[in-house]
Structure 1
Amino acid sequence: MDALPLSLPHRFRRAPRPAPDGRAPLLILLHGYGSNEDDLMGLAPYLDPRFSVVSVRAPLVLGTDSYAWFPIVWDERGISVEPAEVVAAIQPAVAFVEQAPLAYGALPGRTLLLGFSQGATMSAGVLLRRPDLVAGAVLMSGFATAELVAPGVTLSGKPVLITHGWFDDVVPVQMGRATRDLFESLGASVTYHEYPMGHQISEACLEDADRWMTEWLAALD
């Protein structure tokens, strides 16, 4: 099935093993800085085949086939961001996440987000501002701060998997740990893993994500 004309460009892969009625839970992938919708779609064959998968292109154009969700500044101290720009960037992601499950006939209440780096921050932002839209999230090598939390939001057992590398020189592991603490403080059911890797998705990390999503599906049956 070709991708539908929604608010952001994206790629779509129908679930290889949908439910008997043809419907499926939906996994929405959000890529990192400088990447595009083709990047994380490469993960789809390694994930539970009961998911339909949508991989979204961020709206900020950096160059040919290179996009971002929000600006970042690189200097000798590492990266820095303007919190207000991060918050503003969440709205296009929210709008897409509102549209996609209905457009692709996803099973109600069975939409997960999976983001890497900036995409993890956007996935976290959607969950922290509109937790009603998604059932949970996988946050890989990203970060979230208190500025992203909408007033009055609680997550009440919402499942969240957070993964991070010990040697991440882009988003230091301390930021992953702070993200874990933030989600736990809001009542989410957090699973947290660290790995001997840099700013990347290792084989072990991907296997843990697939296992977590499969267990999430099993808990719904």
Structure 2
Amino acid sequence: MAATIETPENNLNTDLGLSYLIKPAPITTGKQKALILLHGVGSNEQDLFSLAKYLPEDYTIISPRGPFVLGEGRFAWYQVDFSSGKPEINAKQEAQSRETIREFIVQVKEKYKLDEVYLGGFSQGAIMSYTIGLTQPGLITGVLAFSGRILQEIRPLVAEPASLKELRVLIAHGTQDGTLQVHYAREAKTYLEDLGIKPGYHEFNGGHQITGEVLTVVSEWLKL
């Protein structure tokens, strides 16, 4: 069996508030830009990091690990219960993760001298991305939400519309999603529009997943 060759890109970094993987931008075009990707519940930092090769080369890709351990190689930003038929969150854990992610972004921007940071995520990672973008709009340039929703619990904390006008948002959601149904994406679009944000919006024929079609949309959106 061939030995695994460790490279800087698959070594877990532990020097900041969250453990993370990083793939530096192979090329630069002036501004130093990064995309931070937040995994879904029960996953880990390797999941979305595997998409790095499909994303624009002038972006540094960073993928942190959620702080709550669910099992071997399984992490979360907060625990969630679906037993009632709708997702019920652990609000205390969500608030802790919100602050931890905020601090991590500040640390990343300083350490890697970044001019623009986009925050994206899948499912629970998308939920946290929405939350950070809407409550801390000056911290990031844009939000990418894959198969997520905007929590009712954070809406009282959302920043004033005037401070949100520069925030870019991209929503992608499968019409056959059985975990977080597509109505969550449609509700998010309407809510954002009411705040004065005009999100990029893409529904695709699929389930709770990120498809090649979505990656193409993301790549083009990031180049705008």
Q: TM-score, normalized by length of structure 1?
A: 0.89
Per the alignment, residue 208 of structure 1 pairs with: 217
Question: What CA deviation, in whole Å up to 9, does each residue of 1:70-91 have, x standing for no partner?
Answer: 1111326253325554344311
Q: CA deviation at 1:96?
A: 0.8
Q: CA deviation at 1:102?
A: 1.2
Equivalent-residue separation in structure 1 for 2:158 and 2:60 (angstroms): 32
Query: Does the CA-based 8 Å contact 1:25-1:111 persist in structure 2?
Result: yes
Unaligned runs of 5+ in 2: 1-7
- Counterparts of 1:160-171 in structure 2 under 5 Å? 160-171=169-180
Unaligned runs of 5+ in 1: 216-221
Q: Does 1:199 align with 2:205?
A: no
Per the alignment, residue 136 of structure 2 pairs with: 130
Query: Does the CA-based 8 Å contact 2:137-2:159 persist in structure 1?
Result: no
Query: Does the CA-based 8 Å contact 2:147-2:208 persist in structure 1?
Result: yes
Per the alignment, residue 8 of structure 1 pairs with: 18
CA gap of 1:52–1:152, structure 2 versus 1, over 3 A, is closer
Query: Does the CA-based 8 Å contact 1:87-1:148 persist in structure 2?
Result: no
Q: TM-score, normalized by length of structure 2?
A: 0.88
Question: What CA deviation, in whole Å up to 9, does each residue of 1:142-195 have, x standing for no partner?
Answer: 010343242543211421000101111111111111111222222223111101
Per the alignment, residue 150 of structure 2 pairs with: 144
Q: CA RMSD in A?
A: 1.8
Total equivalences in the alignment: 211
Query: Does the CA-based 8 Å contact 1:128-1:153 persist in structure 2?
Result: no
Equivalent-residue separation in structure 2 for 1:83 and 1:162 (angstroms): 24
Q: CA deviation at 1:43?
A: 0.6
Query: Does the CA-based 8 Å contact 2:77-2:93 persist in structure 1?
Result: no
One-letter amino acid matched to 2:178: D
- Percent identity for Structure 1 against Structure 2: 32
Question: In structure 2, the residue corresponding to 1:131 is in which secondary structure?
Answer: coil
Equivalent-residue separation in structure 2 for 1:178 and 1:213 (angstroms): 23
